[in-house]
Chain A
Amino acid sequence: MDTAELAAVKVDKSVDARGTSCPGPLLAAKKAIGEIDKGQVMEVLSADEGTRRDIPKWCKKKGFEYLGTVEESGFFKIFLRK
């Protein structure tokens, strides 16, 4: 999805992991994914560059759909669908 499409996505769960370093955001995502239903969308906010690469790989391994990443000022919004 491009930035405009991601901006229009209905987010069911937002995880703010900007205060943590690797692997904090990934573990925050792992904890939160259990709180949404299949088909729902989660965004992970992270200031960690490594997480931007980790979440898509994690999604592929766990069978989730990585939707894309939007770069904000000083952090990333990473979107995925369970």
Chain B
Amino acid sequence: MANKKLTLALFSGSVDKLTAAGVILGGAAAEDMDVEIFVLLQAAFAFKKENALVNDRVSEITDKKDEFLASLKRLGTPHWTEAFKQAKELTNVNIHICGFAGKVWHGEKLDDFIDLADDICGIGEYMDSAENSDINLFI
């Protein structure tokens, strides 16, 4: 039986939503789902090599940012890049950088992004993936 498929349109470049995406990826990996991630606009900022590990923006409950980040540390929560990496090691995860989003953040080449990224693509690939998925998420 073919694996179930998750398509994730990842728009957010903030660590709270990226961390949530990492948790969901963990669930997908545990169930051997095939995962296609499309890195859109603000997420492309977070995927830039110079930003991935130093970006500490949060998009929700921003007045509690310090408490939130401290709690992640207290709970031993892996950085979102580690969670994504772990999911890639455990199941079939492909990460596509939206070409337009890359250009917004001056990322023209795959090498401008962290090694988790597999390729740069157009919106047609997202549409194909979304049409053929068991689960579609926009984060």
Interface size on B (CB < 8 Å)? Answer: 12
Determine which of A19, A20, A24, A58 lies in contact with B31 in the assembled complex, contact meaning CB atoms within 8 Å.
Answer: A58
Q: Which residues of A contact B30 (CB under 8 A)?
A: 23, 26-27, 29-30, 54, 58
Q: Which residues of B contact A61 (CB under 8 A)?
A: 31
A38 within 8 A of B: no
Question: Is B31 a contact partner of A62 (Cβ separation < 8 A)?
Answer: yes
A26 and B86 CA atoms in complex are apart in Å by 12
Interface residues, chain B, CB within 8 Å of chain A?
Answer: 23, 26-27, 29-32, 75-77, 86, 90
Interface residues, chain A, CB within 8 Å of chain B?
Answer: 19-24, 26-27, 29-31, 54, 58, 61-62
How would you classify the secondary structure of chain B's contact residues: helix, strand, loop or mixed?
A: helix
Q: Which residues of B contact A26 (CB under 8 A)?
A: 26-27, 30
Min CB distance A71 to B, Å, is 21
Question: Is A27 a contact partner of B31 (Cβ separation < 8 A)?
Answer: no
A30 and B32 CA atoms in complex are apart in Å by 9
A27 and B76 CA atoms in complex are apart in Å by 14
How would you classify the secondary structure of chain A's contact residues: helix, strand, loop or mixed?
A: helix
List the 8 shortest-distance A-B pairs measured between CB atoms, nearest first. A23-B26, A30-B30, A21-B75, A26-B30, A27-B26, A23-B27, A23-B23, A19-B76
29 pairs, A vs B, C-beta closer than 8 Å? A19-B76, A20-B76, A21-B75, A21-B76, A21-B77, A22-B23, A22-B26, A23-B23, A23-B26, A23-B27, A23-B30, A24-B26, A24-B76, A26-B26, A26-B27, A27-B26, A27-B30, A27-B86, A29-B30, A30-B29, A30-B30, A30-B90, A31-B90, A54-B30, A58-B30, A58-B31, A61-B31, A62-B31, A62-B32
